[in-house]
Amino acid sequence: MHPHILVFDSGIGGTSVLAHLEHAVPNATFRYVMDNALLPYGLQSQETIIKRLSGLVKPNQPWSESIDLIVIACNTASTQALDALRKMTTIPIVGVVPAIKPAALQSKTRHIALLATPATTSNQYTHNLIREFASDCQVDLHHSTDLVRLAEACFWQNTTNETEIIREIQRLSISPYVDQLVLGCTHFPIIARQIKSALGAQVSLLDSGAAIARRVMHLLGSSGKQICVNKKGLVYYYATKPIVHSNNSITDVLNIDLS
């Protein structure tokens, strides 16, 4: 049987993880669920996020009977609600958390930065990651919800507001001594090229997409699921609010209720 994977994000950020997953497990069927009615998650309370994520595992969802694995492709939701969600289901869950550990391992200046949502930078889980894996580095925390909005627009409207992205990066005043910038929000890889060009060649950008795909392959392998590289699975898209003004090739987005 081919694997069946649920991928979740507040919006289209999780597609930056989905791309790695499709490459790693091409024969899987994916259900990509976005809670765009409550976007941005970076401004939502932990209680709200836990409640919305519980909607993923309630009975009678289109995927309820068939899912092998859930990927929470959202740093904000993972750092806020992973423990609570794991208590609600026996389905294995893989969460995306900021790539602090690889950034600290690769930093030569010992000065790294995290760019994420306000909920992620202020979260205790994130502070624990920094204490555990980057205690010998200076770690600057930067947050932006504007970049989430700009990544959404880039994805759906197929146009990039480069000037606005550069202005927002400049507003954040990221130190020139930072040599590793952790993209701790899955929306940001979508506009990574623009972020990088605003910052310059001295900074490497890191995200968690490839590591998540490796973890998913490992879990599927140990549960006996077959990964075939010469078969192409399907991706079904769901949203909690209708998508308007889309120029994207994803046209078939089904409505879903997570309340």
Please identify which residue in 15, 29, 61, 75 interacts with ligand DGL, judged by CB under 6 A: 75
Please identify which residue in 41, 155, 237, 238 interacts with ligand DGL, judged by CB under 6 A: 41
Q: Could you give the CA distance from residue 67 to residue 4 in angstroms, rounded to a whole number?
A: 5
Q: Is 76 helix (H, G, I), strand (E, B) or coil?
A: helix
For the bound state, the minimum distance from the C-beta of residue 119 to ligand DGL, rounded and expressed in Å, comes to: 7
185 is catalytic: yes
Question: Cis omega before residue 98 (within 30°)?
Answer: no
| Nearer of residues 52 and 187 to ligand DGL, judged by Cβ | 187
CA distances for 205 relative to 84, 109, 183, 196, angstroms: 30, 15, 7, 7
Please identify which residue in 117, 123, 180, 194 interacts with ligand DGL, judged by CB under 6 A: 117
71 counts as binding ligand DGL under rule CB under 6 A: no
For CA atoms 96, 101, 106, 111, give the dihedral sign: positive
Q: Could you give the CA distance from residue 120 to residue 75 in angstroms, rounded to a whole number?
A: 7
Give the interface segment with ligand DGL, choosing from 10-18, 100-108, 132-140, 219-227 (CB under 6 A).
10-18
194 counts as binding ligand DGL under rule CB under 6 A: no
Count of positions (residues) in the chain: 259
Q: Could you give the CA distance from residue 105 to residue 109 in angstroms, rounded to a whole number?
A: 11
| Nearer of residues 205 and 225 to ligand DGL, judged by Cβ | 205
Q: Could you give the CA distance from residue 9 to residue 12 in angstroms, rounded to a whole number?
A: 7
Please identify which residue in 2, 7, 8, 13 interacts with ligand DGL, judged by CB under 6 A: 13
| Nearer of residues 137 and 190 to ligand DGL, judged by Cβ | 190
228 is catalytic: no
Q: Could you give the CA distance from residue 181 to residue 140 in angstroms, rounded to a whole number?
A: 9
Please identify which residue in 5, 6, 7, 10 interacts with ligand DGL, judged by CB under 6 A: 10
Q: Could you give the string, one character per residue 127-156, with x where binding to ligand DGL holds by CB under 6 A and - elsewhere?
A: ------------------x--x--------
| Nearer of residues 2 and 207 to ligand DGL, judged by Cβ | 207
CA 155 to chain centre: 14
Pairing of strands 138-143, 29-34: unpaired
Please identify which residue in 25, 70, 165, 185 interacts with ligand DGL, judged by CB under 6 A: 185
Q: Are 69 and 3 in contact (CB under 8 A)?
A: yes
| Nearer of residues 2 and 38 to ligand DGL, judged by Cβ | 38
74 counts as binding ligand DGL under rule CB under 6 A: yes
Read off the tokens for 84: 């609570």
Q: Which residues bind ligand DGL (CB under 6 A)?
A: 9-11, 13, 39-42, 74-76, 117, 120, 145, 148, 185-187
